[in-house]
Each structure stands twice: as C-alpha cells, then as structure tokens.
C-alpha cells in the first residue's frame, strides 16, 4: 500500500511513527477500506496472561504490552510501533504476537496471514520474525511476510533479510532425527522467496558425511561475511557434532523494554537454538551497552521544570516527534502528510563478523599403518585396524579395499565404531599385490592403511617359495 496525498488516507508505515512507551507497542494507525478510522471492533486480542477477547475494540494510542497477540478483522489494517521505532503492520485476517522487546532486540511471531515490518537502521542488534516453518532475522529493512496453509512468502522492499528454514536431519539408522537444524539464506531488496511450511528432510549415510556437509556450510557462511549466517551455521555444526539438539531455554516472562538482556530474545524465540556464547563476537551484550540516543519525549522521566531564570540552558534539541494527545486517539492530518523526522541514534562502530569457534580435530591415525596377509588361493584372510582422532570419538567410515594388480576375488571392509576389518580372498596368484583402505573421521579428515597380499598355491597361511621340479628322463 502506497502513501496518498488525500487527507484521511491510510499512511505508509514510515509516516506513522511517534513516541511509543517503554514495555510494549502502541497502536499508531487503524485503516478500513484504505481510510484511517478512529477505532475498530472485532479485533482478537490475547493479553500476556492468555486471556482472549475475540471482539475487542482498538483505537490509536492503545498500548500493547510484550506478550500480547492481536488479530486484525477482515479488510482492516492495524499499525503498531515499538519503543525502538519498529512499525509492524497487521493486515486483515493476520495474527501477530509481540514476543520480546529490548533496546537492542525485538521478536515477533506471525501466526498466519500477511504482516509487514519497517525496521529503522542502526536501532537494533537484531530483529526476528518467527512463523510456523521459518525464521526471519533482520536489522534495518522493510519487508513483508505472508503465511499461508502450504507456504510462507518473504518479500523485501529495503535492506537485507536472513531466513532460516527448518531442516530435519537423519543420520544412518538412528531412530531420533535431529530437528533443530536450520538452513539459512539471504533475501535482498527487490527479491521474494517462497518456503514450504513442511520441514525439508536431509539424509546422510553416516556421521562423518553429515559433519563434512555442515562443515562446508559453515565455511560458506564465514566466506559470506554475514554474522547471522555464521551463527546459524555454527549452531548447526555444533548440534551435528554433539549428535543432539541444545537444551531449550525457557522463554522469559514479559518485562519492560529496557530490562530484557541482549540474547534473551533469541533464546525465547528459538527455544535455545541461537542461545550461543556471544562474548567473542563483535556484537555487544546487555542493555547497558546501548548507544546514547537523542532523548525522545515520553521515553524517560522529566524532572519538575524550574523557573526559566534559574534553569541551566540546554543544547539545541534535535527535531523530535510530537506525541499524539492522550484523550484524542486520532491526529489531525495536514493536507500533505509527510514523515515526521526520527531522532538519529549515535552510529555504532563498524565491526567485522566474527567466526564462531568450532571444535578442532586432529589427524586420523590408523594402527597399525600397514599389514601383510598370505592366504592360499580362494582362502580369505583379514587384517584389523584401529582408527583414532584427537577431539573426535567417532564413528568412522572406511572405503572398500582397492588392490593392484587385481586379486580376482573379494575385497571388503567393515566398520564397528573405530575398528576397521579388511577381508581379502584371492582367486589368482599375485606376488605382493598392494591393497589400500581409507578411513574418514571428523571434519572429513582421513588416513590410509596398506595391505600387502601374497597368495600361494598350496592353501597355506604363509607364503613359501616354490621348489624347482626335477626334470623327468626321456622315454626310451
């Protein structure tokens, strides 16, 4: 929906910003049939305690605390603004829940329908929108989310959005697949992506191949330089390495806007999925590290004014937004509506994304490194190797043996944990045939063992040189 110069027309999200109170969002605009209205009924409102009202009346100026869910009636648009200036638009038939808010992060849940968000730049460390099958992580951007029965569509008008769709991972014959993995990608301005609401399933034959795949995903994220992609890829790889999902963090009780520490919102939204130790990353933690922003009326307590003659002269204030009068929910629009200037927060220093430290494994070692087998023709002989790798407890995988020259029989390998058994049976006589088998452990690291195979005619277990035969006398 575009801005209109007609007084009374529904304004764009960027034109309705005003001072929102701490501890929740405020209703800044309600539209019906493209026109602003002073109030509307038929709104579904569920308060933070879970009390639902399916026919509530809503008017501009109404404060919605953290934990509130609103559902817009048909042919209606409801705009709400957070204390940090995030304007969320709820279209008719959609439902939106305010999950968490702080001076550094915000989280919302789109339970269905069409919602859109205008996020000011340089205000938040991160802002999340969660749907039934998708997580959208943004900073300064303008984007839409449409949640249907079969798919979710993300469309970006300004900025960049990182999406994480759920991926169920099945490894070998394990009965309990990992369901905490997300595959992330970036959606740029002007792009739109559709995602199925049913999680994708990816199957790996063994642990080593799963780790190799997600190790490559992690390296790709590091090369992208996007911290969000790095965080998600690191969490994925850690879960694969540990062969379990992290323990879900309990969602915090709704609190005031400035009381929610950095990182808690992500833990609440993802159930601990991104509750990583961020002490080594470039992003600050805690509300105490928020940048100093230009004061906004209504956001802090104002001392009782003293007479002008005794007051200390204040610096020239930055243009601020005029709060709407409390008794009157509707502001009188000028003939040509224009966006109210937003106070500019102090710029945050430019930082370089920090790759999350991952476990480092040592080289794979096979003991013994080589073996010699000497079976008779058609007889099988086996050699056993033990694989070890510092920092990795297995399981390992092994290739089938390769022999040169060909032994004309069977060559197999079997793995049990970190023990590899190679079995060889030759049908041809081959002196010193060279066979090899390669074992792979964590992070795709591998080692190769060699087997020297000597085959005899008599079927003995060891190789013995053949004696020269005596020449027979010629017949007379």
User: 13 or 383: whose pLDDT is higher?
Assistant: 383
Asked whether residue 125 falls in the same domain as residue 211, the answer is: yes
pLDDT given for residue 111 in this prediction = 87
Q: Establish if 246 belongs to a structural domain.
A: yes
Residue in the structure block whose two tokens are 């990583």: 276
Helices (H) and strands (E) in the chain, counts: 3, 27
**CA dist., res. 63 & res. 253, Å (int):** 18
Q: How many domains does the chain have?
A: 2
Average of per-residue pLDDT across 81-91: 91
Q: How far is CA 232 from CA 82, 180, 225, 366, 405, in A?
A: 26, 11, 13, 34, 48
User: Closest by alpha carbon to 441, among 101, 210, 234?
Assistant: 210
pLDDT (tens digit, 9 = 90+) per residue, 396-444?
888 999 988 888 788 899 988 889 999 988 876 656 788 999 998 887 7
pLDDT given for residue 189 in this prediction = 93
Asked whether residue 203 falls in the same domain as residue 81, the answer is: yes
**CA dist., res. 104 & res. 261, Å (int):** 8
Q: Establish if 257 belongs to a structural domain.
A: yes
Q: Establish if 441 belongs to a structural domain.
A: yes
Q: Establish if 461 belongs to a structural domain.
A: no
Asked whether residue 377 falls in the same domain as residue 242, the answer is: no
Asked whether residue 276 falls in the same domain as residue 397, the answer is: no
Query: What is the percent of the chain where pLDDT is above 90?
Result: 32
User: 107 or 331: whose pLDDT is higher?
Assistant: 107
Per-residue confidence at 387, pLDDT binned at 50, 70, 90? Answer: very high
Residue 152, domain extent: 13-287
Give Cα 470 to chain centroid, integer Å. Answer: 80
Average of per-residue pLDDT across 231-236: 90
DSSP H/E element including 184:
strand 178-188
* Residue 347: pLDDT over 90: no
Per-residue confidence at 58, pLDDT binned at 50, 70, 90? Answer: very high
Peptide bond preceding 46: is omega within 30 degrees of 0, i.e. cis? no
Q: Establish if 152 belongs to a structural domain.
A: yes
Query: What is the percent of the chain where pLDDT is above 70?
Result: 67
Asked whether residue 224 falls in the same domain as residue 109, the answer is: yes
CATH code of the domain covering residue 247: 2.60.120.1440
* Residue 67: pLDDT over 90: yes
Tokens read off for 462 = 């060891």
User: How deeply is 307 buried, as exposed, middle or buried, from its count of CB atoms within 10 A (0-12, 13-18, 19+)?
Assistant: exposed
* Residue 357: pLDDT over 70: no
- Across 97-101, 250-254, 400-404, least confident range: 250-254
User: 234 or 311: whose pLDDT is higher?
Assistant: 234
Per-residue confidence at 188, pLDDT binned at 50, 70, 90? Answer: very high
Of 226, 257, 287, the last residue of a domain is: 287
- Across 293-307, 342-356, 456-470, least confident range: 293-307
SS3 content of the chain, % helix, strand, coil (to 5): 10, 40, 50
The number of beta carbons lying within 10 Å of the beta carbon of residue 40 is 19
**CA dist., res. 79 & res. 11, Å (int):** 10
Average of per-residue pLDDT across 281-294: 30
pLDDT (tens digit, 9 = 90+) per residue, 103-136?
888 999 998 999 999 998 888 887 899 998 888 8
Give Cα 421 to chain centroid, integer Å. Answer: 40
* Residue 173: pLDDT over 70: yes
* Residue 71: pLDDT over 70: yes
Question: For residue 377, what are the contacts with CB-CB under 8 A and spacing of at least 6?
Answer: 426, 427, 428, 429, 455, 456, 457, 459
Per-residue confidence at 282, pLDDT binned at 50, 70, 90? Answer: very low
Asked whether residue 24 falls in the same domain as residue 135, the answer is: yes
Tokens read off for 63 = 């404060």
39-45 long-range CB contacts below 8 Å, 24 or more apart?
39/329, 40/73, 40/76, 40/78, 41/73, 42/73, 42/76, 43/70, 43/71, 43/72, 43/73, 43/76, 43/78, 44/69, 44/70, 44/71, 44/95, 45/69, 45/70, 45/71
The number of beta carbons lying within 10 Å of the beta carbon of residue 203 is 12
Per-residue confidence at 348, pLDDT binned at 50, 70, 90? Answer: very low
Average of per-residue pLDDT across 36-56: 93
Asked whether residue 113 falls in the same domain as residue 243, the answer is: yes
pLDDT given for residue 375 in this prediction = 84
Q: Establish if 19 belongs to a structural domain.
A: yes
Asked whether residue 73 falls in the same domain as residue 170, the answer is: yes
Give Cα 360 to chain centroid, integer Å. Answer: 22
User: 369 or 268: whose pLDDT is higher?
Assistant: 369
- Across 56-65, 190-199, 353-362, 439-448, least confident range: 353-362
* Residue 268: pLDDT over 70: no
**CA dist., res. 440 & res. 418, Å (int):** 10
Of 271, 287, 303, the last residue of a domain is: 287
pLDDT given for residue 247 in this prediction = 64
* Residue 137: pLDDT over 70: yes
Q: Establish if 325 belongs to a structural domain.
A: no
pLDDT given for residue 21 in this prediction = 64
- Helix axis angle for 227-242 and 207-224, nearest 10°, is 170
Q: Establish if 376 belongs to a structural domain.
A: yes
Beta strands in 72-104 (DSSP E): 76-81, 87-91, 95-101
Q: What is the DSSP letter of 327?
A: S
* Residue 360: pLDDT over 80: no
Name the average pLDDT for the chain: 73
**CA dist., res. 181 & res. 235, Å (int):** 8
CATH code of the domain covering residue 405: 2.60.40.10
């Amino acid at each position: 929906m575009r801005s209109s110069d007609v007084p009374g027309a529904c304004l764009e999200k960027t034109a309705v910003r005003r001072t929102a109170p701490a501890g929740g969002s405020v209703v800044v605009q309600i539209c019906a049939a493209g026109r602003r209205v002073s109030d509307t009924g038929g709104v579904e409102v569920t308060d933070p305690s879970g009390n639902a009202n399916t026919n509530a009346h809503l008017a501009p100026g109404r404060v919605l605390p953290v934990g509130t869910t609103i559902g817009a009636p048909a042919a209606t648009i409801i705009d709400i603004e957070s204390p940090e200036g995030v304007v969320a638009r709820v279209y008719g038939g959609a439902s939106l829940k305010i999950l968490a808010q702080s001076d550094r992060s915000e989280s919302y849940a789109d339970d269905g329908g069409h919602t859109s968000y205008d996020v000011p730049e340089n205000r938040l460390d991160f802002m999340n929108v969660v749907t039934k099958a998708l997580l959208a992580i943004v900073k300064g951007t303008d984007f839409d989310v449409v949640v249907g029965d079969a798919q979710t569509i993300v469309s970006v008008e300004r900025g960049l959005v990182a999406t994480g769709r759920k991926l169920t991972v099945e490894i070998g014959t394990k009965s309990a697949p990992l369901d905490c993995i997300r595959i992330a990608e970036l959606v740029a301005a002007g792009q739109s992506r559709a995602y199925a609401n049913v999680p994708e399933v990816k199957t790996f034959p063994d642990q080593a191949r799963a780790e190799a795949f997600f190790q490559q995903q992690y390296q790709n994220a590091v090369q992208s330089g996007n911290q969000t992609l790095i965080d998600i890829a690191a969490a994925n790889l850690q879960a694969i390495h540990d062969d379990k999902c992290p323990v879900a963090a309990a969602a915090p009780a709704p609190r005031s806007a400035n009381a929610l520490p950095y990182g808690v919102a992500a833990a609440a939204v993802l159930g601990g999925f991104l509750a990583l130790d961020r002490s080594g990353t470039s992003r600050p933690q805690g509300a105490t590290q928020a940048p100093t922003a230009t004061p906004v009326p209504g956001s802090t307590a104002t001392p009782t004014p003293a007479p002008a003659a005794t007051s200390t002269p204040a610096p020239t204030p930055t243009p601020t937004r005029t709060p709407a009068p409390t008794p009157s929910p509707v502001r009188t629009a000028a003939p040509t509506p224009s966006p109210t200037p937003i106070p500019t927060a102090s710029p945050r220093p430019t930082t370089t994304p920090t790759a999350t430290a991952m476990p480092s494994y040592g080289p794979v070692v096979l003991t013994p490194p080589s073996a010699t087998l000497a079976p008779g023709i058609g007889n099988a002989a086996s050699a056993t190797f033990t694989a070890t790798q510092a920092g990795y407890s297995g399981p390992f995988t092994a290739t089938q043996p390769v022999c040169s020259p060909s032994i004309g029989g069977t060559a197999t390998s079997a793995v049990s944990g970190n023990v590899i058994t190679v079995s060889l049976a030759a049908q041809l006589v081959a002196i010193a045939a060279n066979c090899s088998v390669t074992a792979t452990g964590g992070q795709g690291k591998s080692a190769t063992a060699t087997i020297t195979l000597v085959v005899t005619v008599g079927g003995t277990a060891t190789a013995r040189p053949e004696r020269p035969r005596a020449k027979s006398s010629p017949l007379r």
